[in-house]
Structure 1
Amino acid sequence: MTKSSDGAPINIGMVNGFNPNDLGRLSPQMQDAIRRRQALLGPAYRLMYANPVEIQRASGVHMYDAAGNEYLDAYNNVASVGHCHPRVVADVHRQMQTLCTHTRYVQDGILDFAADILPTFGAPIEHIMFTCSGSEANDLAVRIAKHHTGKNGVIITSEAYHGNSELTSGFSPSLGRGSRLGVFVRRISAPDSYRMDPAEIGRQLAAEVAREIAELERRGDGIAAFIADSLFSSDGIYSHPVDVLGPVAEVVRAAGGLFIADEVQAGFGRSGDRLWGYQRHGIAPDMVTMGKPMGNGYPVAAVAMAPHAIRSFGADTRYFNTYGGNSVAIAAAQSVFNVIRDEKLMENAARIGAKIKDGLKALAAKDGRIGDVRGTGLYIGAEFVKADGGKTPDSATALAVVDGLRQRRVLISATGYHANTLKIRPPLVFSDADVDRLLTQLEDTLRSV
């Protein structure tokens, strides 16, 4: 658990989620569906929104419920190029009709895709290995880092999320206190540009990393890796300044550790100005992990790495994944990569994202509850604060706004330590008309909250 703006604990796993105790106020049909879900899937799954949404189909940035009601998806980065993109569907279907097998056979598809994507990272990245999910990619990257360094320590930011495997959940504090962190994990502050001096953030974070490395060494180990999502998505979305990660990388490497750039959420052009989020900080990571947006919903992910990072791991062990990098997965990844390039979706993210930010800033100028608007491209946050002049987080209002938008059939979520920041993260095909609808419904919601 973490704490809300009034000091009460918030379980991040239930933020913006359905409370099973409220089942009685839903329609009989929805009650039946949820009871069936609980009986068959068990208690660990969560539903979004106080009034859950039943989705039956989707296209582009629109999702549809059983009654045919349309919802604007301003949240789903998994369908990075839009739900059911016809080109991706066709390419995956064609490959599924031809061959679906693993990487122990020689195939052109995986090599062609590797040759396409590897140059986009720049030096020193030269190799790529495929997995099924971002969790699996981060798991593999940290395994490689531990093998390379002979150390176990992993340093992360305060509310990071890097996955839900046994290893990655151990360095994903945003899962809540009920999910234990590994004894090998140390945390540093999020780069809170709203409350910290932007000119000092990089120096401060580097100093914190140095202290945590010293503590790891004092306990008889040391640092294997520092891993970060360069948009600090779960920390509250901090896109600027872009000189934060450079000083951290210097400290990590001086201690013998590797720098892992988690691009599961920040990559594939979402920032609008670079294909990969870490490139905005001018750094060259030792490894880059990818996930959710890579296959537009098909389970494909990857770790790209420098030769020095993988050399000893590759010599001493082997890697095999029955489904990671299979022929259909690669067809999906190649198709998504082509669509992002051919439809100029990174450029669209820059233009449309700027329009959303401008609209949010105009709303903030009229409504003091929006204390800060930040983000880049199509990853934008609007932080809600109390009207006390002290930048006190206001999670209650933020979550009420999320619920109000859901009632108006606009889907977003909240993020950050206090869950007081709206998380606007739509598919990269978001349009001008979609922006107008989002901002209009948000303004209407603000009047009602």
Structure 2
Amino acid sequence: MPTEDHRGRPALLGAAHLGLDEFRADAANRDLIERRLKHVGNSVLFYDDPVHLVRGEGVWLFDSDGRRYLDCYNNVASVGHCHPDVVTALSEQAGRLNTHTRYLHETVVEYAEKLTSLMPDGLDVCTFVCSGTEANDLALRIARTVTGRHGAVVMEGAYHGNSTVVDALSTVLHPDPADRPDWLVAVEPPNTYRGPFRRDRDDNLGARYARLVADATAVLDERGHGTAAFMCDTVFDTQGTLEAPADYFRLAYEHVRAAGGLCIADEVQAGLARTGRWWGFEHYGVTPDIVTLGKPMGDGHPVGIVVTTREIAQEFASRAVYFNTFGGNPVSAAAGRAVLEVCERDDLTSRCREVGAVLRARLEQLMERHPVIGDVRGLGLFLGVELVEDRGTRTPAAALARRIPDAMREAGVLIGITGRYGNVLKIRPPLVFTAADAELLITTLDRVLTGLTAGTTGPDA
């Protein structure tokens, strides 16, 4: 089954546009599109008629014409667009001091203390960076330095960032194994709906999928690299927003540690209350050796963090030198601390758990009305809706899925698509999403699915 769309791009980019000829000829902001394509490299844009956003507030985004859109896609603005507490923390600190990280500053230390207090015991040392990519790059470097091994195990269809090393770990961008370095082995993710082991026909799914990780470590031993790290996104976003079997991570971690490697939880997507727990790995009863954080931690301000044990941090520091000019600067720390304070004060873990349960139940009701929905899955406010041409064959309905974000955008709701076949609707709103917001999303998606499957594509579909 193809993992690329009709233009040869990774299937999860099926709703993205790169060239001027891919946008509608009557796009409202065609001049701005042309200027961007001329002067801004790698200009990936969503929608046939891209939205020209000028303002955000909570779960709402507003375009240049004053039209508002319910944001069901953005995990960057985690506690809501332009949250006043975060804006105040940013502006006040920027008005006092912002500089590099080779000086003492209370806010930086206080942020590290607060963040590690929310982690399992033992994960008590932070290294600040500026993005999830930097966090994952550093995490692999730490694992290689501390273990003395070089190899890595990741998932097929994974995305972990875009530095040179982390790009290699992002197998969704390199679907052909021949294009990957020999120090990397990718295994099938625990997709119990359409993977090699399925919940409707197999037993012991966690053990079966975890065994693939053990086999990968053996391959790395045979190649002479050994296993330095197992890196995994605990919501499997680019694989289609999967839910792993309950014992999967426990067993996979056992295999990795037996091979001498470290376990890295990429929590850039899953972390910060989104799944109904502070961190996605908490659903599986495991404690990683290294946790990486990014996008949502600063509510739109660039913040990335590597969290690990004191033993690992000290071992790395004894063998290598690492510093980051902007990572952990006073303004970033102020933003990050404000985000954690909002999450705690407003109990956003409970909000995500409760509203996510309501939203999932309503999506499952939609499934009864729309045969094109083959599966609904996810945790908290990170949900995936897999579209199929036929529930029996489970053939991905990728062509239909590519049309849905545009139709939803016309109806005033922003969502995305993901998955190795580009057929999974990705629902990932800000953490402050309410049950009323969920209902608006459901009624809009119901209308759009009805219109598109009936052959209509207008804005009222």
Paired AA for residue 37 in structure 1: R
By how many angstroms is 1:21 displaced? 5.2
Unaligned regions of 5+ residues in structure 1, if any?
Answer: none
CA distance in 1, matches of 2:311, 2:108: 22
Structure 1 residues 255 and 176: alpha-carbon distance in aligned structure 2, compared to 1, 3 A threshold: closer
Which of the numbers 353, 361, 365 marks the counterpart of 1:362?
365
* 1:81 alignment partner in structure 2: 79
CA distance in 2, matches of 1:19, 1:408: 23
CA RMSD of aligned residues (A): 2.0
CA contact (8 A) 2:151 2:183 kept: yes
CA distance in 2, matches of 1:282, 1:189: 21
Which of the numbers 261, 264, 269 marks the counterpart of 2:265?
261
Structure 1 residues 126 and 388: alpha-carbon distance in aligned structure 2, compared to 1, 3 A threshold: closer
Which of the numbers 143, 157, 160 marks the counterpart of 2:158?
160
CA distance in 1, matches of 2:243, 2:403: 25
Worse overlay, 340-349 or 383-392:
383-392
Paired AA for residue 151 in structure 2: G
* 1:185 alignment partner in structure 2: 184
CA distance in 1, matches of 2:246, 2:267: 15
* 1:3 alignment partner in structure 2: 3
CA distance in 2, matches of 1:19, 1:144: 35
Structure 1 residues 259 and 439: alpha-carbon distance in aligned structure 2, compared to 1, 3 A threshold: same
By how many angstroms is 1:102 displaced? 2.3
CA distance in 2, matches of 1:24, 1:421: 22
CA contact (8 A) 1:252 1:258 kept: yes
CA contact (8 A) 1:172 1:181 kept: no
Structure 1 outlier segments of 4+, above 6 Å: none
By how many angstroms is 1:240 displaced? 4.3
CA distance in 2, matches of 1:320, 1:178: 35
By how many angstroms is 1:255 displaced? 0.6
Paired AA for residue 315 in structure 2: S
Q: When the two structures are aligned, how many residues end up with a matched partner?
A: 446
Worse overlay, 238-247 or 293-302:
238-247
Paired AA for residue 363 in structure 2: L
Deviation string, structure 1 residues 225-269 (Cα, Å, up to 9, x no partner)? 001111111111112432211100000000100000111010101
Worse overlay, 59-68 or 191-200:
191-200
Structure 1 length normalisation: TM-score? 0.95
Structure 1 residues 166 and 13: alpha-carbon distance in aligned structure 2, compared to 1, 3 A threshold: farther
CA distance in 2, matches of 1:279, 1:28: 45
Paired AA for residue 3 in structure 2: K
Which of the numbers 212, 233, 236 marks the counterpart of 2:237?
233
Helix, strand or coil: the match of 1:268? coil
Q: Does 1:301 align with 2:304?
A: yes
Helix, strand or coil: the match of 1:71? strand
Deviation string, structure 1 residues 319-340 (Cα, Å, up to 9, x no partner)? 2111000000000000000001
CA distance in 1, matches of 2:394, 2:81: 37
* 1:246 alignment partner in structure 2: 250
* 2:40 alignment partner in structure 1: 41
Helix, strand or coil: the match of 2:238? coil
Helix, strand or coil: the match of 1:121? coil
Helix, strand or coil: the match of 1:53? coil
By how many angstroms is 1:122 displaced? 1.2
Seq. identity, %: 40
Which of the numbers 211, 216, 219 marks the counterpart of 2:215?
211
* 2:132 alignment partner in structure 1: 134
CA distance in 1, matches of 2:436, 2:44: 31
Deviation string, structure 1 residues 252-302 (Cα, Å, up to 9, x no partner)? 000100000111010101001x20111111111100000000000101110
Worse overlay, 410-419 or 384-393:
384-393
By how many angstroms is 1:178 displaced? 9.2
CA distance in 2, matches of 1:14, 1:207: 30
Structure 2 length normalisation: TM-score? 0.92
